[in-house]
A and B are shown apart, each in its own frame.
Chain A
Amino acid sequence: MIVVVKIAWRNLWRKPRRTILTVVTIALGLALLLVVFGIGDGARSQIVESAVRIRSGHVVVQQREYNARRGIDRFLDSHETQLVKEWIATMEEVFPIQYIVSRSYASGLASSSNGSAGVQLIGIDPKAESKSLYLEDKVVEGVFLDSVSQNKVVLGEGVAQRLSLKVGEKLVLMAQASGSSEIKSQLVRIQGILKTGIEEYDQTLVLMLLPNFQSFLNLEKGVHQIAIVMNDATFSTELSSRGKERFPSIEVLSWEEAMPDLADLIRVDTGANYVFDFVLLLLISFTVLNTLLMSVLERGREFALLNALGLTPSKRFFMILYEATFMAMLASVVGGTIGYGLHQCLKFYGLPIDLFYSEGVSAAGVAMDPIIYSNLSMGRILFSLSLIFIMTLGLGLIPAWRARRPTNIHILGRV
């Protein structure tokens, strides 16, 4: 058998050009698969990441049914907050937790001397948010909140426009306070105006410091949401199910549970990507099959010779399969290198899809980044490699079967 392997290897280099062309075809196919996976996964994980940062976290802790009815009274009190934070601290040893953010929400009314607008008021901790939201980069006028921004707000561009306000000017916030039906008013000044590119937020968002928010609406030390952001979204479900066991009376949600609309979007896009990959693979295999068939066709004389020299049909069969294996190996190295190299380029420089549009883009309430960075997991690489191997060997079966056939000895006499 070793001999057959050797013959197969030598066969490859008797016709280096043909071998190289075939290997290059397979390699390009592999590289293409890797790039498609990289860009697809990259775009999806970017959408999930920005959603996780702006809308919730990889894991969200809140009162039961808070998503359904966002009442001001459905907050986690200081005791619950404390317990949750302690639990998160213990989980930090097991999960790659990056940071946590606490937020409080209220819907209310912002008025200026020019009019009024219904707004979504959010109490935040700017230090934690700066790691999470990157909202500082989205400030188009003024500056973002800092830890001393007492009675200062940062608001969405649309809110500022509706109230005809500029940085430094004042507005009055009105909202229902917790624990009573009392409506409280508070004078605040604009420290910054931001544009997230997400219509919903730009039209309604008013951000203020969490302690400021808490004293304004009588929350004491309570918060509405504690969001956990991790380095790796894949741990979301596991961490949330641990949280569910630990805190049965409150709600611990994974990002898929917290944002079902986005989870659907990702699911659809992944599905579409698989369809795409499938057709792509079909395309690659046709091309490879053609190359292989072509080479077998040209080798009728050679097979006849080998037959005459006593190489049994099964040995000829395996010989071709070994050739295919070698080619697949070579193609894996070459294609893997090209594909991984391209992925590294696209990971570093990114694919600037903003060439195709003017303004910010959002889907399912999430802004899409103007540049898509490739994201390729080891799993995807191994998956693509094995696909290419299986495909090449599978396709190799066809010419291999053909090589088994006893050939007309007279072919040897042909010129």
Chain B
Amino acid sequence: MIALRLGWRNLWRNVSRSLITISAIACGFALLIIIIGLVMGIANQMLNNGTSLLLGDVQIHHRNYLPERDLYETLGSGHADNLKELLDKLRHFPELPNLTPRVHAFGLLSSGEYSSGAQLMGVDAESEINVTSFLDGIEEGLIQPPEAQPVLLGDVLAKELSVTKGSKIAIVTQSADGSLGNDLFYVSGILHTGLAHIDRTLAVFTLSDLQKLLAFEPGTIHEIAISIQDPMIADQVVATLNQSALLPSNGIAHSWGDLAPQLKDYIGVVHGLYGFLILLIALFVAAGVLNTMMMSVFERTREIGLINALGMQPRLIISSILFESFFLGFLGLGLGLGLGTLGMSHLTTEGLNLTRWMGEFAMLGSRMDPILKAVWGWDYVVWSAVGLLTSTVLAALFPAMHATRLDPVEALAAPVEG
């Protein structure tokens, strides 16, 4: 207890020195928090790009729908109200406010002169835009089309078919009743994701138009796409969903990680790579703190020698110095957390506007937000706090032991400070 009190008092004997050390730890920790936040922000943005463009974080299908995507493995049936009821039931999950129904098929698109195979996708544009971003800016084409039977085409597909906004195209597909579903559609918009395989093959319809073309009942769909707050917990959400009675009995939920294992791996790489960099930086900050602490204790060789000569137990001296450095570290981390939180509160809400450096750009296919928003990486933050505190205390140990072992005469001969 004496050591603890001595440590606390020592802290305030040389206020400016302590403040410098505290600020060193604080600044290091605050910047580390911000770096972690930015890195997690980048990783998060990449994940969002991957999932929020078209995939969604979670999808529900008939349990036999994947991987063949058989036209007949559907969810729901009958009247459109059945579908609404199904979706409303799922909305009872607090995590699932945003979900949207979809129908998928394969068909032949023809502009007369040219024809091309395409992925046909029927969406409910109004709920789709709350889940994914591929319709951003062109959703009006489906919600308020100037003509009936609108379709949005990928830009490469549109070019291949030599059509533009306003053209009419014919769509032919195998309907569920075996007949040849065919109809004329009005190209009400061109979509560009930057992802070649989407821009080359995707044609988007309103849910009811595609259901009609496929001879589906208005309550029949293939897929429910869901976006959740934190994509990283998608697996947990899926586990709960699959055990829940609210899920249609023939349905099964999949997380983005199951649906796009490559994306999962990519996020893994980003985390791994940046985790490595965070480790390097944390080590650097620890080394900086170590330096400051060592310097501050070494400067006090004379003082420690004096106390030693006065007969204070070396163990007590060492533990009081360790407590002192613990307080330094603790205060530094506290202050750093405060500063870091201050910075993060700006970066998580306002974000870092990168437009000045990079201009407008698309990344991994989507119109990427040029504003980088930081995200708290709590596990990294906690681990670096532990690491920093340890290195602070350890940094004091060596010079303290060194000073107590010195012959008092030798220690007193150390240059006068200050």
Give residues in A with beta carbon < 8 Å to B: 17-18, 21-22, 24-25, 28-29, 32, 35-36, 39, 43, 68-69, 118, 199-200, 261, 264-265, 267-268, 271-272, 274-276, 279-280, 282-284, 286-287, 290-291, 293-295, 297-301, 351, 353, 355-365, 368, 372, 411, 414-415
Give Cα A261 to B199, complex, Å. 12
Q: Chain B nearest CB: distance from A351 CB in Å?
A: 7
Please judge, given known A-B contacts A17-B298, A264-B361, whether A39 and B273 are in contact too, CB under 8 Å: yes
Give Cα A29 to B291, complex, Å. 13
Q: Which residues of B sit under 8 angstroms from A21, Cβ to Cβ?
A: 291, 294-295
Query: Looking at the complex, which of B2-10, B90-98, B241-249, B363-371 is the stretch in contact with chain A?
Result: B363-371
How many residues on chain B are close to A (CB under 8 Å)?
A: 63
Number of A-B pairs whose CB atoms are under 8 Å?
178
Please judge, given known A-B contacts A22-B291, A298-B418, A353-B273, whether A283 and B281 are in contact too, CB under 8 Å: yes
Q: Do residues B266 and A301 form an inter-chain contact, with CB atoms below 8 A?
A: no
Q: Which residues of A sit under 8 angstroms from B24, Cβ to Cβ?
A: 286-287, 290-291
Interface residues of B in 247-270 (CB under 8 A from A): 261-262, 264-266, 268-269
**B207 interface residue per 8 A CB criterion:** no
Q: Do residues B38 and A291 form an inter-chain contact, with CB atoms below 8 A?
A: no
The chain B residue with its CB closest to the CB of A32 is B284
Q: Do residues A28 and B273 form an inter-chain contact, with CB atoms below 8 A?
A: no
Give Cα A24 to B271, complex, Å. 29
Q: Chain B nearest CB: distance from A295 CB in Å?
A: 7
Top 6 nearest A-B pairs by Cβ distance? A356-B272, A287-B288, A357-B265, A290-B24, A286-B27, A357-B268
Q: Chain B nearest CB: distance from A394 CB in Å?
A: 16
Interface residues of B in 188-225 (CB under 8 A from A): 194-197
Give Cα A414 to B417, complex, Å. 9
Give Cα A288 to B230, complex, Å. 38
Q: Do residues B287 and A275 form an inter-chain contact, with CB atoms below 8 A?
A: no
Name B265's contact: one of A261, A300, A361 (CB within 8 Å).
Answer: A361
Give Cα A291 to B395, complex, Å. 14
The chain B residue with its CB closest to the CB of A274 is B357
Q: Chain A nearest CB: distance from B239 CB in Å?
A: 20
The chain A residue with its CB closest to the CB of B265 is A357
Give Cα A271 to B416, complex, Å. 49
Name B292's contact: one of A43, A291, A360 (CB within 8 Å).
Answer: A291
Q: Do residues A286 and B28 form an inter-chain contact, with CB atoms below 8 A?
A: yes
Q: Which residues of B sit under 8 angstroms from A43, Cβ to Cβ?
A: 273
Q: Do residues A290 and B20 form an inter-chain contact, with CB atoms below 8 A?
A: yes
Listed residue (A118, A287, A299) with the most chain B CB atoms within 10 angstroms of its CB:
A287
Please judge, given known A-B contacts A264-B361, A283-B31, A295-B295, whether A275 and B38 are in contact too, CB under 8 Å: yes
Q: Do residues A283 and B292 form an inter-chain contact, with CB atoms below 8 A?
A: no
The chain A residue with its CB closest to the CB of B273 is A353
Q: Do residues B32 and A283 form an inter-chain contact, with CB atoms below 8 A?
A: yes
Q: Do residues A264 and B363 form an inter-chain contact, with CB atoms below 8 A?
A: yes
The chain A residue with its CB closest to the CB of B360 is A264
**B17 interface residue per 8 A CB criterion:** yes
Please judge, given known A-B contacts A32-B281, A272-B372, whether A261 and B271 are in contact too, CB under 8 Å: no
Q: Chain A nearest CB: distance from B157 CB in Å?
A: 11
The chain B residue with its CB closest to the CB of A290 is B24
Q: Do residues B20 and A368 form an inter-chain contact, with CB atoms below 8 A?
A: no
Q: Do residues B38 and A279 form an inter-chain contact, with CB atoms below 8 A?
A: yes
Please judge, given known A-B contacts A267-B358, A357-B269, whether A272 and B42 are in contact too, CB under 8 Å: yes
Give Cα A293 to B295, complex, Å. 11
Please judge, given known A-B contacts A290-B24, A290-B292, whether A359 and B35 are in contact too, CB under 8 Å: no
Please judge, given known A-B contacts A36-B280, A361-B262, A363-B364, whether A287 and B291 are in contact too, CB under 8 Å: yes
Q: Chain B nearest CB: distance from A294 CB in Å?
A: 5
Give Cα A360 to B262, complex, Å. 7
**B59 interface residue per 8 A CB criterion:** no
Q: Which residues of B sit under 8 angstroms from A282, Cβ to Cβ?
A: 31
The chain B residue with its CB closest to the CB of A29 is B284
Q: What are 7 pairs between A and B in contact, CB < 8 Å?
A: A21-B294, A22-B291, A261-B195, A264-B363, A286-B31, A290-B292, A368-B269
Interface of B is mostly: helix
Q: Which residues of B sit under 8 angstroms from A355, Cβ to Cβ?
A: 272
Q: Which residues of B sit under 8 angstroms from A261, Cβ to Cβ?
A: 194-196, 362, 365
**B130 interface residue per 8 A CB criterion:** no
Give Cα A284 to B357, complex, Å. 22
Interface residues of B in 359-404 (CB under 8 A from A): 361-365, 368, 372
Contact bitstring B107-120, A, C-beta under 8 A = 1, else 0: 00000000001000
Q: Which residues of B sit under 8 angstroms from A353, Cβ to Cβ?
A: 269, 272-273, 276
Q: Do residues A199 and B417 form an inter-chain contact, with CB atoms below 8 A?
A: no
Q: Do residues B23 and A279 form an inter-chain contact, with CB atoms below 8 A?
A: no
**B299 interface residue per 8 A CB criterion:** yes
**B325 interface residue per 8 A CB criterion:** no
Q: Which residues of B sit under 8 angstroms from A368, Cβ to Cβ?
A: 266, 269
The chain A residue with its CB closest to the CB of B46 is A363
Q: Do residues A68 and B159 form an inter-chain contact, with CB atoms below 8 A?
A: yes
Name A276's contact: one of B38, B265, B296, B363 (CB within 8 Å).
Answer: B38
With A32-B284, A294-B21 already in contact, 12 other A-B pairs whose C-beta atoms are closer than 8 Å: A267-B358, A268-B363, A279-B31, A286-B31, A287-B284, A290-B27, A294-B296, A297-B16, A301-B416, A351-B273, A356-B272, A356-B275
Please judge, given known A-B contacts A17-B298, A275-B372, A414-B416, whether A290 and B272 are in contact too, CB under 8 Å: no
Q: Which residues of A sit under 8 angstroms from B197, Cβ to Cβ?
A: 200
Name A359's contact: one of B194, B265, B277 (CB within 8 Å).
Answer: B265
Please judge, given known A-B contacts A359-B265, A360-B265, A365-B196, whether A39 and B368 are in contact too, CB under 8 Å: no
**B354 interface residue per 8 A CB criterion:** yes
Give Cα A372 to B295, complex, Å. 37
Give Cα A36 to B272, complex, Å. 14
Q: Which residues of A sit under 8 angstroms from B27, Cβ to Cβ?
A: 283, 286-287, 290
Contact bitstring B279-318, A, C-beta under 8 A = 1, else 0: 0110011011001101110110000000000000000000
The chain B residue with its CB closest to the CB of A368 is B269
Please judge, given known A-B contacts A361-B269, A363-B266, whether A279 and B35 are in contact too, CB under 8 Å: yes
Q: Which residues of B sit under 8 angstroms from A17, Cβ to Cβ?
A: 294-295, 298
Q: Chain A nearest CB: distance from B47 CB in Å?
A: 12
Q: Which residues of A sit under 8 angstroms from B196, Cβ to Cβ?
A: 200, 261, 365
**B409 interface residue per 8 A CB criterion:** no
The chain A residue with its CB closest to the CB of B363 is A268
Q: Do residues B352 and A275 form an inter-chain contact, with CB atoms below 8 A?
A: yes
**B125 interface residue per 8 A CB criterion:** no
